[in-house]
Amino acid sequence: EAKPVAAPSRFDFQEVAAGIDEDAHVADGYRAQILLRWGDPVFADAPDFDPYDQSPEAQLRQFGYNNDYIGFIPLNAAGTRALLCVNHEYTNEEVMFPDLPRQDQSAFFKDMTKRLTEIEMAAHGVTILEIERIGEDWVPKLDSSHNRRISPLVTEMGVDGPAAGHWRLKTKDDPTASKILGTLNNCAGGVTPWGTYLTSEENFHGYFWTDDLDAEDEPRAGIGGDQAGSYKRYDVPALWYSWGKFHDRFNVDREPNEPNRFGWICEIDPFDASSTPVKHTALGRFRHEGAECILNKDGRAVVYSGDDGKFEYVYRFVSAGTYDPEDRTANMQLLSEGTLSVARFDADGTLHWLPLVHGHNGLTKENGFASQADVVIDARLAADALGATRMDRPEDIQPNEVNGRVYLMLTNNDKRGAGETDAANPRPENVFGHIVEMAPPDGDHAAETYDWSLLVKCGNPHIAEVGALWGPETSDAGWFASPDNAAVDADGRLWVATDQGENWKATGKADGLYGVETEGAGRSSAKLFFRCPVGAELCGPCFTPDQQTAFVAVQHPGTDATEDYAPFARASTFHDPATRWPDFEDGMPPRPSVVAITKIGGGKIG
């Protein structure tokens, strides 16, 4: 149960001032080392980064774009050598490629080439890289045999669980539905207790293309044929990227089943660079934000995952088998079989987990679910049928092993109407988001019911109409909007990273990392520890087990529609970016980067 706390807040760092400028800022007394930038070498033979001479071949040897989740897997007892596993979620062409503005979507599509799409694909996926702490610095070990780039361009992945081999996953290139080329839009993730890396496929719908458009240039109604209901529920195809112009598998007119091969959780063994990652279909298909994994007290593995869409759901997977500390190979099968459930938050403070199991609760052939394969492929439709609670964009879901509770980031939902609020989503036009605390009974993460309560309602506490809820220690710098990723350090303290999208203009605050107290008199108080440069969101907070380093991922610096916010009143482009963080060199674009934060002179973070 909860640790007793003496002070109102356990965070005693000097808070950063709120604001927005071209640089990153960390609390006084701390040091922020730029560890890995887009284009930095992952292998000793990687070519030097040259933004004016990019190629898929170079990018496959270099750190990818838009770093998101960070997993830290120690290689020694002291935790001074480790495998850093980093997601590369997506690409921002307007600040990535010279002479390719993206403000006009149709012009952008016209200017894209097959080679540029292949650079983009190579910049997506995952990096696994050995690092070592030497003195104050973390140093990449470029000659490590563990180092690996995983991408949607070249990495073959396996598939298991109820949808493996199913006709809805079969394509011309893969008639047995057993080999999927790559992973994409890898947002958050998780590290398992047996030392594997979980990466989530989030906005996969955006990568699919059709030439079958209506008069408004939208995909024709009924597109998808027999699977039209599924296409519509998953917004497939959304045409965010032009990959399908050049690669048939991303064109649903040519490969109608390819979208069913994305939207999964993938497990990667970072200790074997030749291993084949596996998509575990038992965990369901949706826009997985993350996949934090915890061992339940009975030894079963539990994975929490949010579906990041307005009015989407919160899911939990509980493995059928139990963890065996002596058998890592067997543990790597734990996510192959188990029970996927979806959450219903009742007004009396009870959370019910509703199992998504074929043949039960109306998930039958008559209702469109011929087997468990249909249930997991169309997890959203199955969750609709069960009456799960429609949430305000569920992002990261973070279990806290110290206090036994679980923290759910609900980032925002400006589409919730005044008549559509409920106890767990209490504000209409929720532009600032909130955090829900979930409490399993006696720390049982497989229980059918939990208690739940609101921890924070985000936004400015000085504006009554915002309806914010913060603890008493929250300063003007400490309140925030749009919680996205979260981490818990070894002391059980909650840290929250924000992603306001374009909304930073409304708050006057850059995105950042905040300590949020969950216990005692200071409960729900927040403090600003690290602040992003303009246009960036903060991802992947990750604390080393000794709490001496916090890794953070600064994603898409210089982007997010800066047109009408002085002093950044212009559209950001490669040649005229809102910031050139972190290099600040003429001609160098802004670069998404992983930052290692340490205390000057040593000691625990925060």
Instruction: Name which of Ca ion, ligand FEO, none residue 160 binds, using a CB cut-off of 5 to 8 Å depending on partner kind.
Output: none
Degrees to nearest 5, angle at CA 33 with 29 and 38: 150
C-beta closer to Ca ion: residue 118 or 484: 484
Neighbours of 360 (CB within 10 A): 12
C-beta closer to Ca ion: residue 70 or 386: 70
What is the closest distance, in whole angstroms, from the C-beta atom of residue 241 to Ca ion in the complex? 18
Q: Which of 239, 169, 184 is nearest to 208 (CA)?
A: 239
The span from the first CA to the last CA of the chain, in angstroms, equals 22
Instruction: Name which of Ca ion, ligand FEO, none residue 396 binds, using a CB cut-off of 5 to 8 Å depending on partner kind.
Output: Ca ion
The answer to whether residue 89 forms part of the interface with ligand FEO (CB under 6 A) is: yes
User: Of residues 267, 289, 312, 517, which one binds ligand FEO by CB under 6 A?
Assistant: 289
C-beta closer to Ca ion: residue 398 or 503: 398
Dihedral (Cα; 303, 309, 312, 318), 10-degree rounding: -10
Say how far apart CA 140 and CA 154 lie, in whole Å. Answer: 23
C-beta closer to ligand FEO: residue 255 or 307: 307
What is the closest distance, in whole angstroms, from the C-beta atom of residue 495 to ligand FEO in the complex? 17
Instruction: Name which of Ca ion, ligand FEO, none residue 446 binds, using a CB cut-off of 5 to 8 Å depending on partner kind.
Output: none
Residues forming the site for Ca ion (CB under 5 A): 187, 396, 398, 484, 486, 499
What is the closest distance, in whole angstroms, from the C-beta atom of residue 411 to ligand FEO in the complex? 7
What is the closest distance, in whole angstroms, from the C-beta atom of residue 286 to ligand FEO in the complex? 12
C-beta closer to Ca ion: residue 46 or 70: 70
Say how far apart CA 171 and CA 163 lie, in whole Å. Answer: 14
What is the closest distance, in whole angstroms, from the C-beta atom of residue 292 to Ca ion in the complex? 5
- Residue found under tokens 């990959």: 243
C-beta closer to ligand FEO: residue 201 or 517: 201
The answer to whether residue 511 forms part of the interface with ligand FEO (CB under 6 A) is: no
What is the closest distance, in whole angstroms, from the C-beta atom of residue 596 to Ca ion in the complex? 18
Say how far apart CA 181 and CA 171 lie, in whole Å. Answer: 11
Give every strand in the sheet of 434-439, ordered side by side: 292-295, 300-306, 314-322, 338-345, 350-355, 449-457, 434-439, 406-410, 394-399
The answer to whether residue 202 forms part of the interface with ligand FEO (CB under 6 A) is: yes
Dihedral (Cα; 41, 43, 46, 49), 10-degree rounding: -10
Instruction: Name which of Ca ion, ligand FEO, none residue 89 binds, using a CB cut-off of 5 to 8 Å depending on partner kind.
Output: ligand FEO
Q: Which of 600, 418, 593, 597 is nearest to 64 (CA)?
A: 593
The answer to whether residue 201 forms part of the interface with ligand FEO (CB under 6 A) is: no
What is the closest distance, in whole angstroms, from the C-beta atom of residue 289 to ligand FEO in the complex? 5
C-beta closer to ligand FEO: residue 46 or 150: 150
Supply the DSSP string of 110-146, one letter for each residue.
HH--HHHHHHHHHHSEEEEEEEEEETTEEEE-TT-TT
| 227's tokens | 């699977």
In the shown chain, the binding pattern of residues 297 to 336 toward ligand FEO, with x for contact by CB under 6 A and - for none, equals -----------x----------------------------
Give every strand in the sheet of 483-488, ordered side by side: 25-26, 526-531, 512-516, 494-498, 483-488
The answer to whether 161 and 180 are in contact (CB under 8 A) is no
The answer to whether residue 395 forms part of the interface with ligand FEO (CB under 6 A) is: yes
Say how far apart CA 305 and CA 301 lie, in whole Å. Answer: 13
The answer to whether residue 187 forms part of the interface with ligand FEO (CB under 6 A) is: yes
Give the contacts of 454 (CB within 8 A, at least 6 positions apart).
424, 426, 434, 435, 436, 437, 469
The answer to whether residue 255 forms part of the interface with ligand FEO (CB under 6 A) is: no
Instruction: Name which of ligand FEO, Ca ion, none residue 15 binds, using a CB cut-off of 5 to 8 Å depending on partner kind.
Output: none
Instruction: Name which of ligand FEO, Ca ion, none residue 93 binds, using a CB cut-off of 5 to 8 Å depending on partner kind.
Output: none
Report 469-488 residues binding ligand FEO (CB under 6 A): 484
Say how far apart CA 66 and CA 285 lie, in whole Å. Answer: 23
Which residues contribute to the site for ligand FEO (CB under 6 A)?
A: 89, 187, 202, 289, 308, 395, 484
